[in-house]
Amino acid sequence: MFFYIYIVYIMYICKPYCAIATILLLGMLVCMSQVIQDPKFKEFENTLSNELKEKYKNIVKERTNIYYKSLGLSFTFSAFIANLSIKQGYTRQTLFCIVISITLFLSAIIYKIYPKSDYMIVHLEEKEQREAWLRNYRAMQLNCHVGHLLGTVGVSLFLSSFCEKK
């Protein structure tokens, strides 16, 4: 069974839409898993007073809600596009990859431009807090960029090794 799934996966990752979907998915997974495990977040929280910890918790909650809203909106839009594309003869697997690609790409854009009600940086008065926040922010950016870079390199190597050249 595993071998069958592996062969089917190899066949579909060779399609451009599926390669893009895989890159975006790997990038998102690396970014999210690193954010959860990064000790810099705990170090930052340790610099905060109880009042600031509560503000931080509310900001994180708001950002999480924005992220889920952006995924929902993006998925709805991509499902609409996939529904229109069914008539053009795409296979279900290709449509699945198109939906993942559009959803992940569009959700990142929506999240970036969605208005936020508060920013933690405006509440930080001590230099130590601002420096800890900056380390957090840079680590998040780096994790996401490295995740997408690793996804791109990994998929590129895979494509050049296993996919037919036309």
The 3-class secondary structure across 4-44, one letter per residue, is HHHHHHHHHHCCHHHHHHHHHHHHHHHHHHHHHHCCHHHHH
Position 70: which residue type? S
Contact 19, 152 (CB under 8 A): no
Asked whether the beta carbons of 23 and 156 are under 8 A apart, the reply is no
In angstroms, the CA 125 to CA 35 distance is 24
pTM: 0.79
Give pLDDT tens digits for 113-155.
999 999 999 999 999 999 999 998 898 888 888 888 888 888 8
- Rounded CA-CA distance 20/64 in Å is 25
The domain spans of the chain are 18-33+53-161
Q: Can you say whether the dihedral through the CA atoms of 96, 99, 105, 110 is positive or negative?
A: negative
Rounded Cα gap, residues 141 and 106, in angstroms: 18
**For every one of its 166 residues, what pLDDT tens digit does the chain have, with 9 covering 90 and above?**
444 454 455 556 667 888 888 888 888 888 777 766 778 888 888 999 999 999 999 999 999 999 999 999 999 999 999 988 888 888 888 888 889 999 999 999 999 999 999 999 999 999 999 999 999 889 888 888 888 888 888 887 777 776 666 5
CA distances to 124, 127, 129, 131, 137 from 134, rounded to whole Å, are: 11, 10, 9, 5, 5
Q: Counting every residue, how long is the chain?
A: 166
